Amino acid sequence: LGSRMIENYKQLKSDVSPELIEPEELKKRYNGFFSGTDFNGVKEIFVNSKSGWAEAKEALKATIDAAVLAGVKYVKGDVSRLTFDETGGCTGVRMVDDTVLEADYVILSTGAGTAKLLADSGPEKPELQVDGRMVAAAVITGIVKLNAPDGQPYTGIPISIHGMAGIQGTFSH
């Protein structure tokens, strides 16, 4: 997974410089934050020092609010399928209640449901099928509020992503 992610950054010509490091190297970094971590069976760890953390809910709300201020009509509902014109361009969505909403531009922001929505929308369209191009993941997050002096040692710790025994996970600061 880490190697594929690094290759994706290269293909995108990104200025991000992630790296794969061995567990013993990670244990030496970041003021020893990972020194007590059990990396049994782990050979390499993906580290992206330019990564960060954001609250998706707040980002989505800000995006919706900005769109509404710009004149977009916001409709809340459950989408069952995307709709397409004869050239294959997306024209809108079909809701669960069979209402069809059409628009000049469609923004798909469905998170972990994206692969299923694409598959359901165009089972006869191979270009819509995810076919390994995307992996849905969820991250369990615990938040601890610290005062500035107590939180200082953790400010330089990047997000790291690892795969272990078939399980993918993340750590964020």
The 10 Å CB-count burial string (b at 16+, else e) for 79-96 is bebbeeeeeeebbbbeee
| Predicted confidence band of residue 82 (pLDDT cuts 50, 70, 90) | very high
Which stretches of the chain are assigned E, i.e. beta strand? 19-21, 45-48, 79-84, 90-95, 100-102, 159-164, 167-171
pLDDT digits (tens, 9 = 90+) for 121-160: 988 888 888 877 766 665 666 678 899 999 888 887 876 5
Using DSSP, state whether 105 is helix, strand or coil: coil
Entry pTM: 0.53
Using DSSP, state whether 164 is helix, strand or coil: strand
In this prediction, residue 5 carries a pLDDT of 81
Q: Look at 153 and 94; give whichever has higher pLDDT.
A: 94
Assess contact for 97 and 79: CB atoms under 8 A.
no
Measure CA of the first residue to CA of the last residue in the chain; give whole Å.
21
Contacts of 21 (CB under 8 A, 6+ apart): 44, 45, 47
In this prediction, residue 172 carries a pLDDT of 47
Mean pLDDT of the chain: 82
What average pLDDT does range 56-65 have in this prediction? 88
